[in-house]
Structure 1
């Protein structure tokens, strides 16, 4: 039986409330970076709970761990698999969505307004 490994990372999704919370999150980030290769992220959860302390809810599944302040409804941070997700820290700009032009402009193709059917497809 082969085991699939995940590459764990921490994304802090909202701005830390204060310096103490920021330090806790940085400690979690360092721990996750030191233990990034996991087959099941649930193995990290007890250590994350310990690092975050009493004021936080830490919930986990096989491929994620999320944290929120106990008095808050918004997720504070998430630990996920870098190979399957792309969560960002709160201060990082959003990535553009949709088709983008090639960085090699000489190889760029125009993006058509309509979906083109292959020449050999039946017409309706």
Structure 2
């Protein structure tokens, strides 16, 4: 009779290293929320090198508390304000934890990156490229 073997072997897939950062996409509504988001940013900075950013979600959920929703996507963690009694739900993200090596989310107070047509940086492509 054959014995079953666990799947954890040296040939198990590994994830590329990710460098976590927190982008606060909405202005904090008060000083308490600002301090909470600063604590979240400090936590993410202290744990920046991750195999999977979603591993930060549980600690951030505990840090943010019951007034916030924290969840994960494919390779990021999002934070939203929870709907309170009488408050309207805020569908927009409050903040996002993403990989600095592959994304460019910005804080609410930073200027937006330019969009629209731009000239190619490659001399062989002198026509306008769409972004």
TM-score (normalizing by structure 1): 0.77
RMSD over aligned Cα atoms: 2.4
Alignment partners' CA distance in 2, 1:39 and 1:78: 17
CA shift, 1:101, in A, is 8.0
Alignment partners' CA distance in 2, 1:2 and 1:60: 19
Identify unmatched segments of 5+ residues in structure 2: 1-12, 84-89
Say whether residues 1:16 and 2:28 are aligned partners: yes
Alignment partners' CA distance in 1, 2:46 and 2:31: 22
Q: How does 1:75-114 map to 2 (within 5 A)?
A: 75-97=93-115, 98-99=117-118, 111-112=126-127
Alignment partners' CA distance in 1, 2:18 and 2:119: 29
Identify unmatched segments of 5+ residues in structure 1: 103-107, 115-124
Q: How many residue pairs are counted as aligned between the two chains?
A: 110
> Against the structure 1 CA distance between its residues 10 and 113, is the aligned structure 2 distance closer, same or farther, given a 3 Å change threshold?
closer
Partner of 2:62, secondary structure, is: helix
TM-score (normalizing by structure 2): 0.73
The residue number in structure 2 matching 1:26 is 38
